[in-house]
Amino acid sequence: MLLLHPPLTKPCEPPAALAYLAGALQSHNIPCTLCDMNIEGLEYICVSSEPAEDTWSKRAFKNIARNLEALQKKQTYQNSDRYKRAVADVNRILELAGKKFNLQLSLSNYQDNEASPLNSKDLLKIAENFEYNIFYPYFKIRLEQLLQQSRSEYIGFSLNYLSQSLCTFAMIGYLKMHHPRVKVIVGGGLATTWLSHPGWDNPFSHLIDHFIGGRGEVPLIKLLGHGARNISSKLDYAPLRQNNYLAPGFILPYTSSYGCFWKKCNFCPETSEDSVYEHNPPATTVADLHSLCKKTKPALIHLLDNAISPSTLRALAGEKFTAPWYGFARFDNLLADKTFCSQLKESGCTMLKLGLESGDQLVLDQMNKGIDLHLASQVLTNLQEVGIKTYIYLLFGTPAEDRNAALRTMEFIEKHHQAVNFLNLAIFNLPIHSEQTATLEVSDFYEGDLSIYQNFIHPKGWNRGEIRRFLDQVFKKSPQIGPILLNDPPFFTSNHAPFLVTK
Ligand code: SF4
């Protein structure tokens, strides 16, 4: 089996899905070959691009090797200006290379000005015209090598983000043209979302032989004709470790659960897609992490859970890992206990990502977020006092919000600004199958047949244009909030944030 991670995702850590699938296949004695075509493809662009004329671009081209190397050194992250300059210069190369293909290409996104990943017709066209893809000179050679190496008729694509969609289809188009006998399997988060559309009518049946929704290990093993025994979380990062990820050491991605144990927030696809929740026994998570740390000597552990469960947090708090760790948690009673927060810090917790969404209690209640603002305030104070950094997620424009509620969010952040190290601001999108569509005036307009969100008329007239103006002219101008926003690592955001706050 050949397993591929297509461009484009942030090139800072190995793709966990490939490592999990490889571990499961190997435990069933099914040989597999893995390739992170994202990092390889981006490297290809960095080395093959032609210099441009302006001063910034000339500097970026001259220093590309030095900047890539700098982003793999810890010291670079100790100096925020040096770090930001290296990132901006590397990104400049991608930006210029992308322009020649009418793309908005960056270290975190792949956007085609003429084709949308939300439109199946566009994806089909990209598959037909694969030779116009920016990565074509790289993937036409690399796919041949990988096919030779793996000698398998099955090729799996891990498709998790919209930014991967167009390149995935270009590669599939190439394979179907040159190797019509190969069987193409597509799984991952984005594939799962497509399959969860009630009206899903596969427009790609001549290109994709099998889709796999949800957790892929068992269906993949069965599809390959083997009986799936129990799937333990045996990860295999060995084949991916030689890649030159842009991080100061190996980042170990690990998930202790699939889905979300809360699954009630009515703006979240986890709720509308009613994803299954599965949870490793906390003792297994702890044992796995110790053993993986021993094997891979990571610079950082990245817990990928949508929300780390309280039982797992309790288990982690009693340990001492050899690498710092971070991940998403909920504002939970556990974190309102300062002693517990100290234990988490002792275990290696360097940063928590927390979805606060709003600083208005009514808005939080309406979105079923399950957050009490007094508790959130206590949690933030505790985390600050014990030295755990925070990456706070805010969501503006939910149906219950108006400008006054947004101002209360701003006041909440201003009041707690010393406890908030990083901020992510987002504007609400209505998931296409959310229960809220029944109570809102939904407009017919959609971007494409694969769109996962739907337009709606905001019941309080708090529309996207006004929200954007509010964020730009009011929220971001706050003297307490502005500096927090400047902390955000460009393109890499939370993936690099722990390195910028760890001395
Ligand atoms: S806690 Fe997070 S992942 Fe879970 S339902 Fe809410 S927003 Fe979604």
Q: Provide, rounded to the nearest whole percent, the portion of the chain with pLDDT above 90.
A: 85
Mean pLDDT (the chain, rounded): 94
Judge if 258 and 364 occupy the same domain: yes
- 343 phi/psi in degrees, rounded to 5: -65, -40
Pocket test for ligand 1, best of 270, 305, 308 (most atoms within 8 A of CB): 270
pLDDT at 318: 85
Percent of the chain with pLDDT over 70: 98
Q: Would 135 be classed as within a structural domain?
A: yes
pLDDT at 346 over 90: yes
**Tokens 């590309």 -> residue:** 64
Residue 251 pLDDT > 90, yes or no? yes
Dist CA 297 CA 282 (whole Å): 21
Residue 94 · residue 8 · CB < 8 Å: no
Three-class SS of residue 4?
Answer: strand
Q: Is 367 in the pocket of ligand 1 (CB under 6 A)?
A: no
Looking at the fold, whether 219 and 260 belong to one and the same domain comes out as: no
CB proximity list for 152: less than 8 A, separation 6 or greater: 1, 2, 31, 32, 33
Predicted pLDDT at 272: 79
Tokens 């939904």 locate to 442
Residue 243 above 90 pLDDT?
Answer: yes
The residue contributing the CA closest to ligand 1 atom 2 is: 306
Ligand 1 pocket residue status of 330, Cβ below 6 Å: yes
In tens, the pLDDT along 121-179 reads 999 999 999 999 999 999 999 999 999 999 999 999 999 999 999 999 999 999 999 99
Are the beta carbons of 11 and 39 closer than 8 angstroms? yes
Say how far apart CA 42 and CA 462 lie, in whole Å.
40
Band of pLDDT at residue 273, cut at 50, 70 and 90: confident
- The predicted model gives 56-67 an average pLDDT of 94
Residue 228 in any domain: the answer is: no
pLDDT at 232 over 70: no
* Closest atom, ligand 1, to C-alpha of 357: 7
Do residues 388 and 486 share a domain? yes
Q: Using a 6 Å cutoff on CB, does residue 265 contact ligand 1?
A: yes
CA atoms of 423 and 446, how far apart (whole Å): 29
Q: Is the bond preceding 8 in cis, omega lying within 30 degrees of 0?
A: yes
Beta strands in 146-305, from DSSP E residues, in sequence order = 154-158, 183-187, 210-211, 251-254, 257-258, 278-279, 300-303
| Model confidence pLDDT, tens digit, residues 81-121 | 999 999 999 999 999 999 999 999 999 999 999 999 999 99
Residue 355 in contact with ligand 1 by CB distance below 6 A = yes
Q: pLDDT value at position 453? A: 83
Q: Which residue has the higher pLDDT, 194 or 229?
A: 194
Give the whole-angstrom CA distance, residue 244 versus residue 254. Answer: 19
CA distance 287 to 256: 11
CB-ligand 1 contact for 268 (6 Å cutoff): yes
Q: Is the pLDDT at 451 greater than 90, yes or no? A: no
Domain boundary among the residues 207, 223, 239 is at 223
217 and 258 fall within a common domain = no
Q: Is 331 in the pocket of ligand 1 (CB under 6 A)?
A: no
List the single range of 54-58, 295-299, 364-368, 399-403 with lowest mean pLDDT. Answer: 54-58
Q: State whether the beta carbon of 250 lies less than 6 angstroms from ligand 1.
A: no
Judge if 265 and 206 occupy the same domain: no
* Residue 244 belongs to some domain of the structure: no
DSSP secondary structure letters along 84-98: HHHHHHHHHHHHHHH
Identify the residue whose C-alpha is closest to ligand 1 atom 8: 268
Q: Which amino acid is at 270?
A: E
Place of tokens 């009693």: 318
* pLDDT surpassing 90 at residue 261: yes
From start to end of 84-222, where are the E strands?
103-105, 110-112, 154-158, 183-187, 210-211
Q: Are strands 278-279 and 300-303 parallel, antiparallel or unpaired?
A: unpaired
The 10s digit of each residue's pLDDT in 22-42 is: 999 998 999 999 999 999 999
Given pLDDT bands bounded at 50, 70 and 90, which one contains residue 468? very high
Distance CA(136)–CA(171), nearest Å, equals 8
Distance 398 CA to ligand 1 centre (A): 15
Residue 321 resides in a domain: yes
pLDDT tens for residues 363-383? 999 999 999 999 999 999 999
Question: Is residue 218 included in any domain, yes or no?
Answer: yes
Output the pLDDT for position 289.
97
Q: From the CA of 271, give the closest atom in ligand 1.
A: 5
pLDDT for 444: 59
Per-residue burial over 199-237, b if 16 or more Cβ lie within 10 Å, else e, is eeeebbeebbbebbbbbbbebbbebbeeebeebebebbb
Q: Is 288 exposed, middle or buried (0-12, 13-18, 19+ CB in 10 A)?
A: middle
Strands 103-105 and 110-112 come out as antiparallel
pLDDT at position 338 over 90: yes
The yes-or-no verdict on residue 80 having pLDDT over 60 is yes
In sequence order, the 6+-apart residues with CB closer than 8 A to the CB of 20 are 216, 217, 233, 235, 255
Q: Are residues 263 and 402 in the same domain?
A: yes
**Per-residue pLDDT at 376:** 98
Residue 500, Cβ neighbours under 10 Å: how many? 22
Centroid of ligand 1 to alpha carbon of 151 (angstroms): 41
- Residue 267 scores a pLDDT above 90: no
Quote the pLDDT of residue 336: 98
| CA 307 to ligand 1 centroid distance, Å | 7
Distance of CA 186 to CAs 25, 131, 216, Å? 16, 21, 10
| Spacing of C-alpha 336 from chain mean position | 28
> What residue's CA is closest to ligand 1, atom 5?
263
Q: Is 172 in the pocket of ligand 1 (CB under 6 A)?
A: no
* Cβ neighbour number for residue 89 with a 10 Å cutoff: 21
Task: Evaluate: CB of 97 within 6 angstroms of ligand 1.
Answer: no
Query: How do the residues of the chain divide into helix, strand and coil, expressed in percent and rounded to 5?
Result: 45, 15, 40
Label residue 503 by pLDDT band (50, 70, 90): low
**What pLDDT was estimated at residue 459?**
93
CATH number of the structural domain spanning residue 476: 3.20.20.70
CB atoms under 10 Å from CB of 243, counted, come to: 17
Q: In whole angstroms, what is the distance from residue 474 CA to residue 448 CA?
A: 33
Is the minimum distance from the CB of 306 to ligand 1 under 6 angstroms? yes
Q: Are residues 263 and 159 in the same domain?
A: no
User: By C-alpha distance, which of 494, 473, 372 is closest to 10?
Assistant: 494
Between 424 and 239, whose confidence is greater?
424
Same domain, 139 and 266: no
Does residue 238 lie in a domain region?
no
The closest residue, in CA terms, to atom 1 on ligand 1 is 262
| Whether residues 293 and 182 fall in one domain | no
Q: Which domain holds residue 94?
A: 2-223
d(C-alpha 452, C-alpha 431), whole Å: 6
Note whether residue 474 is domain-resident: yes
CA distances from 482 to 42, 262, 458, 471, 485 (A): 32, 32, 27, 11, 5
Mean pLDDT of 173-186: 97
Does residue 446 carry a pLDDT above 80? Answer: no
Distance of CA 382 to the CA centre of its chain: 27
| Residue 233: inside a domain | no
Q: For residue 418, what pLDDT is reported?
A: 98
Ligand 1 atom showing the smallest separation from residue 263 Cα: 5
Whether residues 38 and 109 share a domain: the answer is yes
* 105 CA to centre of ligand 1 in angstroms: 29
The model carries a pTM of: 0.96
Asked if residue 353 has its Cβ within 6 Å of ligand 1, the reply is no
Final residue of a structural domain among 205, 223, 241: 223
Reduce the secondary structure of 231-263 to three states and give it as a string. Answer: CCCCCCCHHHCCCCCCCCCCEEEECCEECCCCC
Count of beta carbons in the 10 Å neighbourhood of residue 162:
17
Distance CA 352, CA 494 (A): 10
Give the count of domains, the chain: 2
Average of per-residue pLDDT across 281-295 = 96
Tell me which residue of 487, 491, 499 sits closest to 300, measured CA to CA: 499
Nearest CA to ligand 1 atom 6: 265
Whether 257 is in the pocket of ligand 1, judged by its Cβ within 6 Å, is no
pLDDT tens digits along 402-434: 999 999 999 999 999 999 999 999 999 888 777
pLDDT tier at 231 (50, 70, 90 boundaries)?
A: low
- 269 and 212 co-located in one domain: no
- Residue 430 Cα to ligand 1 midpoint, Å, equals 14
pLDDT, position 492: 98
Judge if 291 and 194 occupy the same domain: no
